[in-house]
Amino acid sequence: MSRVLGVDRATCQRIVQAAARQEADAHTLVTLPGVMGLRLFLDAMEGRELGALGGERLAGARAAVDRFDGLLDALHVSQRGLRGLLASPVEAGPEDGRARADDPAQRATLYRTAAGIVGRWSAADIHASIIRPSRADSQKTEWARLRALVGHSWREPSMPLEVGGTASLQDKDQTPPFLTLDGRPASGASPGTLVSDFCTAPLPRVVTRVSGSRSVNVIDTEGRDGPADIVTALRSGRADPHPSTLNPPIGEVWSLQNIPAARLVFDVFLHVDLARRCMPSLETHLWMPDVSRHAAARWSTRLPGGPRLTLLGAGLGHIETPGYARYGGLVHEVLDRLGWQASEFVGYRCEVEFPIWRAGYCMLFDFAPPGTGED
């Protein structure tokens, strides 16, 4: 269904799951995809040969989605919030053994506790990776990553603030693995890692430490008052292997929640040449030392429940988020500085209130050719 309609696999899985229920009731509403996913699915169905009766049913489905959207607005909740309203007292308790990664109340408790322990917290934590095929080698990819700590606050004493990332260093050339957006090596004192127009003044001091495939921006907020917006961005200095050349052919992008945040916005923007060849999915894992190792067996670290993956569509026209009013402008600023065209990318999003501290949210992009794996 996903391949035929051109709709992401997670959306199709949720539709099949809802359709398989013996009876439709209020709980069906939280089994279905969200409003945007339903509309994308109906848009894809509109291009099929449906006949007169099918057309009427499609129009009825669109009207039903509009009414569902109106219900959520009237209740002032998201779809996940509606799930909480529908839960019985037994279902809402932690002692029943159900998956609780979907419980915002428990995640909120963890957020407040972690913020007290760490001494740092953010209103929103924004992770975005932008990936395209290398212009020099079709078997490689290049990327840019941005990280925004929006409304970041701290107290003294607090843990040091570090924002890190990992690059694939399978090539043995001497090119720096990480560059600032203007193409300079990101190492040592590196104010160029800040996207200064989107940071709160005065700007913090940044020192970038590189060790092998790991880069860490140490951000000094001493002598400054919070809350503040701190936005960093890096681009690849050397190309990564194309995911289709890996064994198995799966590309992975991670967002580690090392800083407590009230909201996570985790986006991956794939060039259309990549997006049309892969199937996306999303997993949430308890962060362990080897959890990000490519293609590792992670059944023992995967957390039950969790957010779903949302397709933002092509052209970056639907990337706004209540977590950060300036987000659209930030992504376009990064693309403009890279000289990349926004119309060439397709967006995927994981957005969750009170992301689980010390969890790793992972987007996986399966490049296995059709017919070689599960449909």
DSSP string covering 217-282, please?
Answer: EEEE-TT--SSEEEEEEEEESSPEEPGGGSSS-EEEEEEE--S-BSEEEEEEEEEHHHHTT-EEEE
Q: Strands, DSSP E only, in 59-139? A: 120-121, 124-133
> Above 80 in pLDDT, residue 212?
no
Helix axes 35-46, 9-19, angle to 10 degrees: 90
Give the per-residue pLDDT at 295: 61
Tokens of 156: 């003294």
Answer left, alpha or beta for residue 119, where phi above 0 means left and psi between -120 and 50 means alpha: left
What's the pLDDT band for 88 if we cut at 50, 70, 90?
very low
Are 163 and 232 within 8 A, CB to CB? yes
Least confident among 164-173, 229-238, 351-360:
164-173
Q: Is the peptide bond before 248 cis (omega within 30 degrees of 0)?
A: yes
What's the pLDDT band for 374 if we cut at 50, 70, 90?
very low
Distance CA 157, CA 83 (A): 39
Mean pLDDT, rounded, for 79-84: 70
Residue 116 CA, distance from chain mean position? 25
Distance CA 238, CA 242 (A): 12
What's the pLDDT band for 292 if we cut at 50, 70, 90?
low
Give the per-residue pLDDT at 300: 82
The DSSP element (H or E) to which 53 belongs, if any, is helix 51-75
Task: Give the predicted TM-score (pTM) of the model.
Answer: 0.72
Q: Give me Rg for the CA atoms of the chain.
A: 21
Give the per-residue pLDDT at 250: 92
% of the chain residues with pLDDT over 90: 47
Give the per-residue pLDDT at 355: 96
What's the pLDDT band for 97 if we cut at 50, 70, 90?
very low
What's the pLDDT band for 76 if we cut at 50, 70, 90?
low
Q: Is the peptide bond before 249 cis (omega within 30 degrees of 0)?
A: no
Give the per-residue pLDDT at 214: 74
